[in-house]
Amino acid sequence: MDLDIVFLGTSGSVPTARRGLAGTLVRRGGDRILVDCGEGTQRQLLRSSVGLVELQEIFLTHYHADHYLGLPGMLKTFALRGRELPLTVYGPPGLKDLFGVLRRIFGKLTYDVELRELRPGEALERGDHRIFAFAVEHGVTSNGYCLIEEPRPGRFDVETARKLGLPQGPLFGRLQAGETVELPGGGSVAPEQVLGPPRAGRKIVLAGDTRPGREVLEAARDADVLVHEATFASEEGARAEETLHATAAGAAELAKAAGVKMLALTHLSNRYFGPEIAREARAVFAETVVPRDFDIIDVRFPERGGPRLVKGGALGKREEADSHGGDGSGGDGGGPRGGRGDSDDPELGRHPVGARAGGRAPSDAAR
């Protein structure tokens, strides 16, 4: 089953010309789960190859404005299109109070919206996978979310099955599903006779806004992909501590300790370019990428190569992909290759969006 992560907004606190506010779409099979809905998220979806699909579930990590201000407009758009399909919105405690205010903005809807407040440790069981909330450290009630698949059956040994007298066909599938089957000529074959050891499912973790805390570390252990914020570089370590945000190096240290396969850094302050953040993180944890808007991480099974970054993979047909270099922030689907920077980014050392001449941009709001 396909599993990927579409980055719709990768800027922190304020948008830039190239990065929108927080919005991440998880696609698993036919499921579409939006995590956070910053201002402009519906337009990002419309610009993308995904389109503004009738999402059935939206998860909010916390209630700072840059993570939910796009929600009222999206809900209203769905209503204007005559939507009837119910929608469930999940979030930490306080969600119902938030909607008490937002309803004045989006008004009457043509469909039902169910609000479900999730506390750390609560899980949504989905049969072959589950989604659970975990606490993060951000100064306000906040959740991170982890999607973890159940273990898969081991590899099916076709040669052994044939030697045991099994005809190729439906019996193979039943054995792979864990069922003992009867042989046409008598006798039976148990799954353990033809299956190798169980194989782990995939695990992705979206931490939201947080400092690199123990709760994130425990949730992220052995994850295929950890999506973690990196609002600041180490030069602003004191500011990161003050606002309960993370530095690129701090997130990389956590990823290394957790044994994740890939770290994806988002929520960048507008004072930084992707290459700066990528270089700092990769000095600690080499398998770090800094996605740009419309990049995708394809979360493949380990035997198929593991996670890989697909730069510009969600750009719509009418959108022209920017040419990217090898900094892991946007094109050829390869892994980390060192921070050469984007070929189209302003030269490092020049002023990023929002920066003032002669210095860095003003300090970000404590979000």
Task: Give catalytic residue positions.
Answer: 66
> Which long-range contacts (C-beta less than 8 Å, at least 24 apart) are formed by 210-213?
210/136, 210/137, 210/138, 210/142, 210/144, 210/244, 210/245, 210/246, 211/137, 211/138, 211/240, 211/241, 211/244, 211/245, 211/246, 211/250, 212/246, 212/250, 212/251, 212/253, 212/254, 213/136, 213/137
Quote the CA–CA distance of 171 and 184 in Å, as a whole number: 10
Q: Which of 35, 33, 19 is nearest to 294 (CA)?
A: 19
Q: Which of 180, 279, 177, 297 is nearest to 233 (CA)?
A: 279
CB 144 within 8 A of CB 134: yes
List the beta bridge partners of residue 232: 247
Strands 203-206 and 288-289: unpaired
* Residue carrying structure tokens 């990389």: 252
| Strand order through the sheet with 307-310 | 113-117, 87-91, 57-59, 31-35, 23-28, 3-9, 296-299, 307-310
